[in-house]
Amino acid sequence: MITQLALTRPQKAAAILVAMGKPSASRLLKFFKQEELKALIEAARLLRTIPQADLERIVAEFEAEFTEGAGLLDSADKIDTILNESLSPEEVDAIMKGKQPAPPPPGPGPIWPDLERLEPERLGSFLTGEHPQTSAMILSKLAAPATARVLLTLDKPLRSEILKRMVTLGDIPEKAAEIVEGQLRSRVLSEKSSKDTSAGQMRVADVLNEMDKSQLDETMRDLEAAGTPDLDGVKARIFNFEDLPLLPQKARVLVFDGIATDIVTLALRGATPAITEAVLSAIGARARRMIESELDQGSEGVLPADILQARKSVVSTTIRLSREGLFELPSAQGGDAAPNADAA
């Protein structure tokens, strides 16, 4: 007979696990380290019959209570059964051989960065047909700039309803999130490569934005004559220095708030009065007086290349801010936006 004093600590642990039964023991086994599981299995294989009296002493040592049991029989077989129902054959084999179990195959990566790169109108169109609660869940996963761009494509009532639900959105059950992600993959992202031409439109627009006004107009006429598809999408991304008066006042303030005064001064050299006033009306009074004083001294000695580079800096800042969803370019508004220097 094996007494309590003759048992090692791993043997005592194995005895208690067997006494607990498979359901409870299975849950506990998941918290054991690999080396502990290995010691547990080896200890259990040495156990045979443990009388009830000795089992009670073991239980008392662990400060727990067992109200049932008439002794343990065939401990090795029972611990094998528990392990086999709790772990995969590969995991049991890896434990006994001292190896780490192979990691599970990687699943699909997160879909949210892919959604953020989509054209806002494309995702907005999808959300229009979904329940507002589902839309709120999806938009809550996106970065704030991407969420803002998508919301601006929706009708105001729907936009307000989604925002209201985003405010009170709680934790999303994992199963529900998986279902939504699956729908997004199959109904939105799977069509991206064949139907979403926004990346190509953006590349063409970036090239055209490097041209001056006359070159740009000529190229656009050639593209129209050639029947270029999706040309409206390209136009919506084009912005030229001469288009500054078409930007709303708030947009111009955002643009020139982050551009150094010397660059603004350089860009305005040789500019038309309309462009000059559109820019100066969007900056502070002190900066305006400084720039006007510099412009009054003329442009002698200033290189045209430097002026062109300063204007490109203004244009690139404007395009970047529009892509962040802070405002739309005049071409995206239909090209009929009028300057409003008095707007708040």
Q: What is the pLDDT of residues 123-165, one digit of tens each?
A: 888 888 888 888 988 999 899 888 998 899 888 889 899 998 8
- Residue 293 structure tokens: 């004083």
Rounded CA separation 12/47 (Å) = 9
Mean per-residue pLDDT over the chain, rounded:
76
Rounded CA separation 143/132 (Å) = 18
In percent, how much of the chain has pLDDT > 90? 19
pLDDT in tens, 69-81: 434 445 555 566 6
Please give the backbone phi and psi of residue 11, each rounded to the nearest 5 degrees, phi first: -65, -40
**Helices vs. strands in the chain: H and E counts, helices first:** 21, 0
Q: How confident is the model at residue 2 (pLDDT cuts 50, 70, 90)?
A: very low
What are residue 50's DSSP bridge partners?
72
Arch. (CATH architecture) of 112-195: Orthogonal Bundle (1.10)
Average pLDDT of the segment spanning 43-50: 68
Per CATH, 112-195 and 239-333 having the same topology is answered yes
Alpha-carbon Rg for the chain, nearest whole angstrom, is: 35
Rounded CA separation 199/230 (Å) = 12
Rounded CA separation 52/138 (Å) = 58
CATH of domain 239-333: 1.10.220.30
Q: How confident is the model at residue 343 (pLDDT cuts 50, 70, 90)?
A: very low
Instruction: Name the residue ranges covered by the structural domains of the chain.
Output: 4-97, 112-195, 239-333
